[in-house]
Amino acid sequence: MNNIITNKIIDKEEKLRYLIAIPCVNRIERNAINVIDKTFEGFEKADMFNSEIDFDIVLFESGSIDKSYLNFIEEYKSKYKKNIFIYESKNKENAITNTFRMFQYIKKIPKNYYNFIIWMDDDIFVCKKFMENADAWIKKYANFSYFSSLYVPYRTYFVKGSLNVQHADMSNFYGTCCTIFKQEVVHLPIQNWFWQHFELFNFNPDARFRDCIRKKLTTLKKICVSYPSLVQHMNIGSSIYNNQNINKGHKCNNFIGVDADPKFYEQIK
């Protein structure tokens, strides 16, 4: 655990490398609406693809029959010369098995190739200059908790003397719209992902991730989260398998907005 919670601030000038991991599915095949193209439009609007921050994107495709919903990715790869990969499955996955497959992929990456993983959903909005802001926040705060989040729909607590970070009870964590962790963290989800309790009560990936860690590291109580949130959920995820017009998904109330730049890269010292 000392390699994960180091309580060390990373120098602002140090160049980090990130993996943005996004599970996805052809939502039309699950009686919902595809919006991942809108997510990437938001990335483009946030100037992510012109950012000097070093990152790759891997889409973990869930074994959809029709994968043409991802054809638009080629336009971004061609336009911006960015590394955007699609990791396909030969099997039809659900959210649980596809996320487990994502963790297995991350585990196999050569050690220290990426400094941090940014686990995101395929139906999100991001703020202006998202990568610059995320990079500044991660360098200052991500080494102070086992995992952290830049999307915060749950209760948080102010940290004295700190404007851009708050604490949250790990037990309250949900929503993987922007979850930050190091590669070493995935061994706990891989070990415990299909725990009988999770299967019996049909836990979602966010709850499994949280409780895989809580189950083994019982002394960890809090995580660091950003304030404000840099990411917002599009709020349609729960409509999968149900009515396309019913929005029941979670949402945070402290998202700074798609047209706002929190300027963490200037404010965080």
- pLDDT tens, position by position, 203-224: 999 999 999 999 999 999 999 9
Q: 240 and 248 in contact (C-beta within 8 Å)?
A: no
CA separation for the pair 88, 111 (Å, rounded): 23
- pLDDT tens, position by position, 116-137: 999 999 999 999 999 999 999 9
End-to-end CA distance of the chain: 26
| Strand (E) or helix (H) holding 212 | helix 205-216
- pLDDT tens, position by position, 144-201: 999 999 999 999 999 999 999 999 999 999 999 999 999 999 999 999 999 999 999 9
- pLDDT over threshold 60, residue 68: yes
- pLDDT tens, position by position, 254-264: 999 999 999 99
Task: Centre a 10 Å sphere on the Cβ of residue 56 and count the other Cβ atoms it contains.
Answer: 15
Q: 189 and 246 in contact (C-beta within 8 Å)?
A: no
DSSP class per residue in 135-148:
HHHHHHHGGGSSSE
SS3 call for 225: strand
Q: What is the band of 248 on the pLDDT scale with cuts at 50, 70, 90?
A: low
Q: To the nearest whole number, what is the mean pLDDT of the chain?
A: 94
Q: 266 and 133 in contact (C-beta within 8 Å)?
A: no
Angstrom distances, CA of residue 11 to CA of 14, 87, 268, 269: 5, 33, 11, 9
CATH pick for 17-267 out of 3.30.470, 3.40.50, 1.10.443, 3.90.550: 3.90.550
* 13 CB-near residues (< 8 Å, 6+ apart): none
User: Could you write out the three-class secondary structure of 69-129?
Assistant: HHCCHHHHHHHHCCCEEEECCCCCCCHHHHHHHHHHHHHHCCCCCCCEEEECCCCEEECCC
Supply the pLDDT for residue 64. Answer: 97
Supply the pLDDT for residue 83. Answer: 97
- pLDDT over threshold 50, residue 4: yes
Q: What is the band of 238 on the pLDDT scale with cuts at 50, 70, 90?
A: very low
Q: Tell me the domain boundaries of the chain.
A: 17-267
Q: What is the band of 1 on the pLDDT scale with cuts at 50, 70, 90?
A: low
Supply the pLDDT for residue 239. Answer: 46
